[in-house]
């Protein structure tokens, strides 16, 4: 088993896209980009002027084939410390700390083959979308099916 220390780096918001009333996708440019595997996540740390910091983990929504940037898709949690900033306040040009990619137990790459049966509810669909986008970008001839559930139609 290989263990490595992940360093924090400063990511810059390059684009935002409102997916639903409570979900936003942010495209982040990373100065020290490491290819991720579909299904991995990044930690995001926000630090206030008084030094207080909060961090949360967010799955990568984009395919690994996009070099230098990642997409993260964030669902606003009402009283959350990080998601309200990312969903309501963050704009193009904002900068904050990230580290990753992290995780290797729930990943898929085209060489793994298939077929794929992906089942998700709510924001749990994010890493599965990375897998489907990777499947398309790699032109993998792997049958795939996504079963998705949400609380309301507006959340789709």
Pick the closest to residue 80 from 56, 100, 98 (CA basis): 56
pTM for the whole thing?
A: 0.87
CA atoms within 13 A on the CB side of 18: 9
End-to-end distance of the chain based on CA atoms, in angstroms? 39
Q: Hey, which CATH number is domain 9-155, 3.30.830.10, 2.40.30.10, 2.60.40.1170, 1.10.10.10? A: 2.40.30.10
Q: What is the pLDDT along the chain (156 residues), one digit of tens a residue?
A: 444 568 999 999 999 999 999 999 999 999 998 889 999 999 999 999 999 999 999 999 999 999 899 999 999 988 899 999 999 999 999 999 999 999 988 888 888 888 989 898 888 888 889 888 888 888 988 999 988 888 877 776
């Amino acid at each position: 088993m290989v263990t490595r220390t992940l360093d924090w780096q400063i990511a810059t918001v390059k684009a935002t896209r409102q997916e639903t009333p409570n979900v936003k996708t942010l495209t982040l440019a990373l100065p020290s980009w490491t290819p991720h595997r579909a299904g991995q996540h990044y930690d995001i740390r926000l630090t206030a002027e008084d030094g207080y910091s909060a961090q949360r983990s967010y799955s990568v929504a984009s395919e690994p084939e996009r070099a230098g940037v990642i997409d993260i898709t964030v669902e606003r949690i009402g009283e959350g410390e990080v998601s309200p900033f990312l969903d309501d306040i963050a704009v193009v040009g904002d900068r904050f700390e990230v580290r990753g990619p992290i995780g290797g137990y729930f990943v898929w790459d085209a060489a793994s083959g298939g077929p794929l049966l992906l089942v998700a509810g709510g924001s749990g669909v994010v890493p599965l979308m990375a897998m489907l986008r990777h499947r398309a970008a790699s032109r993998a001839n792997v049958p795939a099916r996504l079963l998705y559930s949400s609380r309301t139609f507006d959340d789709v």
